[in-house]
Amino acid sequence: PTFGGLDVAVVGVNLRNMESFIQAVQQVEDSNPGLSPLALVRALRRTAGHDDLMTIHFLGASHNLSDTEGLEGSILNATSFSFFDKAIHHIVTDNGEERGVVLAPDGTTVALAPLLLGIESGLKATMEGTEALGIFPLSLGRTLGLSFLSLQDIPPSMRLGPNGCWDNVEQPKVFKLSRPATLATDAVINGGMDGLLLGMHLSKLPASEQPLALSEILRGYYNFTLTEKQGIDAVTSYISPKRRQLSRQLLEPLDLHTEVMTTLTLVWKLEKTEWIAQDSGLGKAVQEGLNTFMHRYLDCPQIIPRCQWGAKASRDTPIPLSLPLKFLYVHHTYEPSVPCLSFSRCSRNMRSMQRFHQEDRGWNDIGYSFVVGSDGYVYEGRGWNHVGRHTRGHNALGYGVSIIGNYTATLPSRHAMDLLQNHLALCAVNGGGLTGNYTIQGHRQVVNYTSCPGDSLFSEIRSWEHFRG
């Protein structure tokens, strides 16, 4: 059936993935020829009821904006209103289900509200010739600041997040968080980063260049295809696996403490929240929170959790590691021999390796601590806290990290090696998993019978800073 231009059978109303949302947006565009992306994103804000004081301050009240008139037949009838309202409106239920989030094709989960606010801010700047003042406050700044403040009585490491798991990555309907939510869940931060990146990009379009349709903006960022010839190293456009790298480039030059404090001051003025202005510990709480944010979301790589790639449970109680460790052992998988370039392919590889390790080798679980794909992500194996089965005689002494592929004669992507050398390792040091003077070694250096991690990759890691012969 079609309701106001929205074919619910096509978009899959009950599925909470990015492609279903994009299809719904495209159907509204197709039924309204000439509709500008700014008018549409404003109408979506109106549908979701996101006219709070700060949003109105930067973007204006959506019900007072003339370019949203006439869209009620496409968006605001009962069925399509319900779809967009449920898709965009962000809440966490009492039982830990996070709503207003969607599963992106790259395996990460994204809150739509901060994403769309960032895009609207950028479109407003470029299409109306105004300054792009609201992009950071609306996409990230307000949520980070309020999350830092609302949880001052708990450790800074718990004031952001958490991540969660979908009930089914093929047909996602329910997303459950791994612990009690903060205001800035991982999905909210992912959506905020994406809104910041796309908003800043759109705000800098030349006057002669018209923005793409909203569905095309979203598809270009989320629905990309990597190939062996056109891997992630060759991609120059904004795509979601690069969100942390690109966000770091945007945020590092800023005085983030001042940016967040300025945002909170505006919140106080608009909402007359006097306790914020009078809180003497505000500056300290913001700095502690920013330190955690920088470590977890900019220094560390995005790690796809076990539940996302479909891991089976360990066959025995995992043995805890004694942290911090002194070694990082580098492997290649050899089989699978081909680099994985998508979430679906990397997930299949992870399941295949776990099945081989459990059923053929008789191990309790997949052997590696972490596995690096060529899709831009790291995949959780046994993780930060449990002894792996990766480097005989040395499993309790270090993390075993493997890059998917056979690197006897070729190298992994530069991006994959950077994730391992400069992000996963730094994340481990700053998080207390590795000592600051840790040693990198190839598998072959400590186990005689193997050529792992392949001649090419081993030759490469010999030049890395922490490598020891």
pLDDT at 374: 96
Q: Which residues pair with 332 in a beta bridge?
A: 403
Residues 251 and 340 in one domain: no
Look at 82-86, 125-129, 144-148, 277-281 and tell me which has the smallest mean pLDDT.
277-281
Whole-angstrom Cα distance, residue 59 to residue 138? 10
What per-residue confidence (pLDDT) applies to 3? 36
Residue 68 DSSP symbol: G
pLDDT at site 69: 54
Residue 118 falls inside a structural domain: yes
Structural domain includes residue 371: yes
Does residue 6 fall inside a structural domain?
Answer: no
- Is the pLDDT higher at 229 or at 170? 170
Task: State the residue for tokens 């913001």.
Answer: 286
Does residue 104 have a pLDDT over 70? yes
Q: Tell me the torsion sign for CA atoms 102, 108, 113, 118.
A: negative
Pair 154, 287 in one domain: yes
One domain, residues 184 and 269: yes
Task: Indicate whether 54 and 106 sit together in one domain.
Answer: yes
> pLDDT band at residue 64, thresholds of 50, 70 and 90?
low
**Is residue 33 located within the same domain as residue 178?**
yes
Is the residue at 320 inside a domain?
no
Whether the predicted pLDDT of 467 surpasses 80: yes
Tell me the average pLDDT across 98-113.
98
Residue 102 lies in a domain: yes
| Residue 367: inside a domain | yes
Distance CA(47)–CA(64), nearest Å, equals 13
pLDDT in the model for residue 271:
83
At 2, the pLDDT band (50, 70, 90 cuts) reads: very low
Residue 449: other Cβ atoms inside 10 A:
7
pLDDT in tens, 396-423: 999 999 999 999 999 999 999 999 999 9
* Enclosing domain of residue 369: 325-462
229 and 190 co-located in one domain: yes
Write down which residue in 283, 299, 315 finishes a domain.
299
What is the C-alpha to C-alpha distance for residues 435 and 39, in angstroms, rounded to an integer?
52
Q: What is the mean pLDDT of residues 26-41?
A: 91
Domains contained in the chain, number: 2
**Is residue 260 scored above 90 in pLDDT?**
yes
pLDDT at 193 over 80: yes
> Among 212-216, 268-272, 440-444, which stretch is predicted with the lowest mean pLDDT?
268-272
| pLDDT higher than threshold 80 for residue 66 | no
Cα distance between residue 10 and residue 24, in whole Å: 8
Exposed / middle / buried, residue 204 (Cβ in 10 Å: 0-12, 13-18, 19+): exposed
Q: What's the chain's average pLDDT?
A: 91
Q: Does one domain contain both 293 and 358? A: no
The CA-atom distances, in angstroms, between 413 and each of 277, 336, 350, 371 are: 48, 16, 18, 14
Q: Do residues 94 and 192 share a domain?
A: yes
Q: Are 343 and 264 in the same domain?
A: no
Residue given tokens 């949203």 in the structure block:
68
Has residue 314 been placed in a domain? no
Concatenating the DSSP letter of every residue in 137-160 gives: IIIIIHHHHHHHHHTTTS-GGGSS
Q: Do 353 and 390 have their domain in common? A: yes
CA-CA-CA-CA torsion sign (85, 88, 92, 96): positive
**Within a domain: residue 377?**
yes
CA 262 to chain centre: 26
In our burial notation (b when 16+ CB lie closer than 10 A, e otherwise), range 14-52 reads ebbbbbbbbbbbbbbbebbeebbbbbbbbbbbbbbebee
Residues 231 and 368 in one domain: no
Q: Which tokens sit at 120?
A: 């609207």
